[in-house]
Amino acid sequence: MKVLVATDKPFAKVAVDGIRKEIEAAGYELALLEKYGDKAKLLEAVKDANAIIIRSDIIDAEVLDAAKELKIVVRAGAGYDNVDLDAATAHNVCVMNTPGQNSNAVAELAFGLMVMAVRNLYNGTSGTELKGKKLGIHAYGNVGRNVARIAKGFGMDIYAFDAFCPKEVIEKDGVKAVASAEELYSACDIVSLHIPATAETKNSINYALVGRMPKGGLLVNTARKEVINEAELIQLMEERADLKYMTDIMPAANDTFAAKFAGRYFSTPKKMGAQTAEANINAGIAAARQIVGFLKDGCEKFRVNK
């Protein structure tokens, strides 16, 4: 059996070593395709792969067509919007993610962006502190929970909205559960986004919603760029010079954001919420173990396609 690690944005070496150990201990072969850039290289590499470990790499119908021997794809991470689930099901390929394995890394980066924003992008002027500020966590999944845990250490007043998480689960953590996204944005000085990119959420973070934020509002996005209605956010930030936007997922309109909103907009050059050795090890090794469990025992825990 051949397991391909196809990561345009590579894992830390220590994680690749750990993945190799798991795969080889199971008697399988590991192939590595990193920083491939060109899709043609991915199409070539998947030809004889029985299993693939990916990150944000796109697995679409064309890749699945090329991967004639493929049985399983594991997205080492949380969001699997980069995999065409219907095409995978049609090709009889199991798709899994590794929920929770990189969530602390993403949560920590959200705070890195928050501190950077309230300290005026470290330009030397007097900023503000996070302590005492109202933080809104938009979606209370694995990352949202880690954000809540860290926010307590900062002494923040924590709110959360999650349409799919019971109020009791949120409140058990000492977080105030609000009934709608509108209520969250109206109440909070800072909103940290942790929603997946789905048909329902794409473009949902728009003028009307962000426009509810109080004066000096800060939006932090370590989720997905697709959930932002960029044209409407640009319009809003033009009208409101007090609003700030920080992200690790570069917007399509990055040049416009950077030119118009210097000092209150920042994007990392690459998506890097999960880019830590710990997250790479956790998610990468979990992915390897899930592949071995699936190929040897038919275990389908964490399967996301039907």
The residues of the shown chain that bind ligand 3PG, judged by CB under 6 A, are 9, 55-56, 77-79, 102, 271, 273-275
Strands, sheet with 265-267, edge to edge from the N-terminal-most edge strand: 176-177, 157-161, 134-138, 190-193, 218-221, 244-247, 265-267
Tokens for 56?
Answer: 């944000």
Q: How far is the CB of 141 from ligand 3PG (least distance, A)?
A: 11
Q: How far is the CB of 286 from ligand 3PG (least distance, A)?
A: 11
- Contact between 141 and 118 (Cβ < 8 Å): no
CA distance 44 to 55: 18
- Contact between 304 and 296 (Cβ < 8 Å): no
Q: How far is the CB of 198 from ligand 3PG (least distance, A)?
A: 13
> How many CA within 13 A on the CB side of residue 47?
6
Closest-approach residue to ligand 3PG (CB): 77
Instruction: Collect all residues with Cβ–Cβ distance below 8 Å to 207 and sequence separation of at least 6.
Output: 229, 232, 233, 235, 236
Tokens for 6?
Answer: 């196809």
Residue 219 or 237: which CB sits closer to ligand 3PG? Answer: 219
**What φ, ψ does residue 35 adopt, rounded to 5°?**
45, 45
Q: How far is the CB of 200 from ligand 3PG (least distance, A)?
A: 17
CA distance 87 to 79: 17
Residue 1 or 272: which CB sits closer to ligand 3PG? Answer: 272
The count of other CB atoms within 10 Å of the CB of residue 242 is 12
Residue 77 or 136: which CB sits closer to ligand 3PG? Answer: 77
Q: How far is the CB of 254 from ligand 3PG (least distance, A)?
A: 18
Residue 133 or 271: which CB sits closer to ligand 3PG? Answer: 271
Residue 178 or 246: which CB sits closer to ligand 3PG? Answer: 246
Q: How far is the CB of 121 from ligand 3PG (least distance, A)?
A: 23
Residue 104 or 275: which CB sits closer to ligand 3PG? Answer: 275
**What φ, ψ does residue 212 adopt, rounded to 5°?**
-75, -15
Amino acid (1-letter code) at residue 285: I
